[in-house]
Amino acid sequence: MAAAAWAIAIGGVLALIVGAFGHRDRLASLPVDVEGFAARHGLVLTPRVEVAVRRLLARHRSWRFHGGAGGALVAYVISVIRPGGFTIGVGVGGPWFPDVLVCVLAGVLVGVVAAESHHLRPGRDTGSGRTMASLEVRDSATYVEPASRNGRLLACGVGVVMLLGWFADRSVSTVVPWSVALLFAATALVEWQQRRIVVRARPVLPADLATADGVFRQQAIEALHHAGNGLVCLLLAHAITAIGEGSDLLGLIALALLVGAVIEWRRSRMWAAPRGSVRFGTALS
Amino acid sequence: MILQIDASAPLPVYEQIRAQISRLVATGQLREGQRLPSIRQLALDLGVAKATVSKAYEQLERDAVVRADRRLGTVVAEVELDPEVAAAELAAAAQQFAIAAHQIGATESEALAAVRDAVLELKRLR
């Protein structure tokens, strides 16, 4: 009964939040965000670049917000289907993972993926029927440091060890295999989407837009990595908490991973400029 | 470096890709060891099937213009540069353009202005 009351209360709060903050105007890119983004990445804000940056930021904000809200809704629905499994915190989720934080971060990751799932048309000149393409090579190394994915791969290695440990001793909570399974799924999703962003069609563009396109791809991949890392940290925290109930050391590690998840989630917001460091207007020259 | 294809041209698309890359290599625009885009990337950018680009790359490999490198993908092979190739290619292209301009009825200054505009437009693009 208490769980059902919680579920209804949180569902109501969620509906209010989505209604209040999910409005299109609230998710629109502010000029200060656009200028900050351009200044940080050395983009010259020509009118067409400004439009492109505004669309990029608005698209990411909107998809992330709705992804996160969708994740919370999934947690809510699961809590209704399976009363008693709805929790906020680390290490107390059941095998269905109706944990709000996990569901919200997973939703954010799906939102970041969805925000970059649009397809650009190749540079077809409708007048002549000709298509142009650059012979410039684009690969993952063009946009991201290889080191940025090593942390996630390491987490997968830790996940494999945990999984083997769980198979050896099934008395440990089923949170472990579920966390590891979601960890693998999140890593695979990030890798898959990263490849898609890298090879996504790039029409032959004027120089300012071509530079912006490179920055957009890089930022999209970075946002993807941070969102993925945030979820991976949280899932590892879940699994470690489930394994080390009563252990202070493992508890501290889980807490550190939880803090890491929050930091990574914040870093995945590509519009969030370090306000003090941006000199507004410099990119408008 | 820009590649252009014309889907309505009588020459097959893979042959257009092959010919242009061959020309870029022969004239030294693409140098030995330089990487070419992956088949998937070029196919998506040009809006053609992957098999089309793959066929062009296969032919280039058969002609020893490019080679497949396990780590780097497709790279330009060691090719002996012929200094006369570029001049001959330019003369042939100019002759083709001059004929088209004449058939259209363009004056000499109009034709030269069109060339200048096209060169400027190409410079603007990346």
Distance spanning both ends of chain A, measured CA to CA:
62
The percentage of chain A sitting over the pLDDT mark of 70, rounded to a whole number, equals 74
pLDDT band at residue A281, thresholds of 50, 70 and 90?
Answer: very low
d(CA A71, CA A50): 31
* pTM of the predicted protein model: 0.73
pLDDT of B50: 92
Task: Report the distance separating Cα B122 and Cα B104, nearest Å.
Answer: 23
Q: How confident is the model at residue A73 (pLDDT cuts 50, 70, 90)?
A: confident
Tokens representing residue B11 in the block = 């020459």
Q: Please list every residue in chain B whose beta carbon sits closer than 8 Å to the beta carbon of residue A137.
A: 35-38, 41, 73
Count residue pairs from A and B with Cβ separation < 8 A.
83
The one-character DSSP state at B38 is P
Does the model's ipTM exceed the 0.90 cut?
no
- Looking only at the bridges linking them, the beta strands covering B2-6 and A130-134 are antiparallel
Residue A271, classed as helix, strand or coil, is coil
pLDDT score recorded for residue A282: 34
Query: Residue B67 belongs to what H/E stretch?
Result: strand B66-69
C-alpha distances (whole Å) from B6 to each of A100, A116, B12, B119 are: 53, 29, 9, 19
The reply to whether residue B38 touches residue A124, judged by beta carbons under 8 angstroms, is: no
Option in A124, A132, A139 nearest B3 (CB): A132
At residue B58, the pLDDT reads 92
CA distance linking residue A106 with residue B106, whole number of Å: 62
Q: How confident is the model at residue A86 (pLDDT cuts 50, 70, 90)?
A: low
Amino acid identity of residue B99, one-letter, is I
The pLDDT of residue B52 is 92
B28: left (phi over 0), alpha (psi -120 to 50) or beta: left
**A284 band by pLDDT with thresholds 50, 70 and 90:** very low
Residue with tokens 């294809």: B5
Q: What's the rounded Cα separation, in Å, for the pair B126 and B124? A: 7
Q: Name the residue in chain A with its Cα closest to that of B2.
A: A134
At B49, list the tokens: 């099937």
% of chain B residues with pLDDT over 70: 94
Tokens at B60, concatenated: 């280039």
Which tokens belong to B88?
């001959």
Mean of per-residue pLDDT scores for chain A: 76
Residue A118 has pLDDT above 80, yes or no: no
Q: Which of B1, B4, B37 sits opposite A130 (nearest CB)?
A: B4
Kindly list the domain boundaries of chain A, sorted by start residue.
2-118+144-271
Nearest residue, CB atoms, B37 vs list A124, A137, A206: A137
Encode chain B (126 residues) as per-residue pLDDT tens digits: 888 888 788 888 899 999 889 888 887 788 888 899 999 889 988 888 999 999 999 989 888 888 888 888 888 987 776 667 767 777 888 888 888 888 888 888 888 898 888 888 777 765
> What average pLDDT does the structure give for chain B?
85
pLDDT computed for residue A279 by the predictor: 37
Residue A276 is classified by DSSP as G
Pick from B40, B46, B124: CB nearest A133: B46
Residues A141-186: tens digit of each pLDDT? 777 777 667 777 888 888 888 888 888 877 777 778 888 888 899 9
Mean pLDDT computed over A40-61: 84
Put simply, the answer to whether A131 touches B5 (Cβ < 8 Å) is: yes
Both tokens of residue B22? Answer: 């061959």
Residues from chain B that touch A199, judged by Cβ atoms under 8 A, are 38, 40-41, 44
Residue A117 distance to chain B (closest CA, Å): 14
Taking an 8 Å cut-off on Cβ atoms, the answer to whether A199 and B47 are in contact is no
State whether B37 and A201 contact (CB < 8 Å): no
List, in sequence order, the alpha helices (H) in chain A: 2-21, 31-40, 47-81, 100-115, 140-143, 147-168, 175-199, 207-243, 248-267
| CA distances from residue B109 to A269, B82, B92 in whole angstroms, order as listed | 54, 32, 20
Interface of B with A (CB under 8 A): 1-8, 21, 24, 30, 35-38, 40-42, 44-48, 73, 124-126
| Contact between chains at B44 and A123 (C-beta distance less than 8 A) | no
Token pair in block for residue A261: 């998840």
